[in-house]
Amino acid sequence: MEKTDDQWRQQLTDNEYRITRQAGTEPAFSGQYVNNKECGVYHCKCCGEELFSSTEKYDSGSGWPSFYQPKNNTSLEEIKDSTHGMTRIEVRCPACEAHLGHVFDDGPQPTGLRYCINSASLDFEASGK
């Protein structure tokens, strides 16, 4: 999916644009889905791609929605990120390359992974809608 910068700016709020298109990060514990316990599916805010299921969401205590794997083993784009004096793995939407967050190897089993995702990069659809 390709859109111009102006098209993304028209579609997204300033904060959503900063996070998804400029690889920003929302402050810990500030996102709308940090404490969401509803059953459903999390979609990419930019393109609607299904990314995560509530069944793989857990409370990591990190301040961001955390998942131990993407929905149905969706292949997220992974990019080495050496910003802010750290080496991390950035994860992006496979359909529109929106910045979602980062993946770390300190999550629970069965994967041992923690996908630490910005709420502003997600839309949530509760089950039954």
Catalytic residue positions, numbered: 116
Give me the residues paired with residue 44 across strands.
122
Q: Please, are residues 117 and 105 in contact by the beta-carbon 8 Å criterion?
A: no
d(CA 69, CA 58): 10
Distance, in Å, from the CA atom of 95 to the CA atom of 76, rounded to the nearest integer, reads 9
Both tokens assigned to 72: 């149905």
Report which DSSP code applies to 111: T
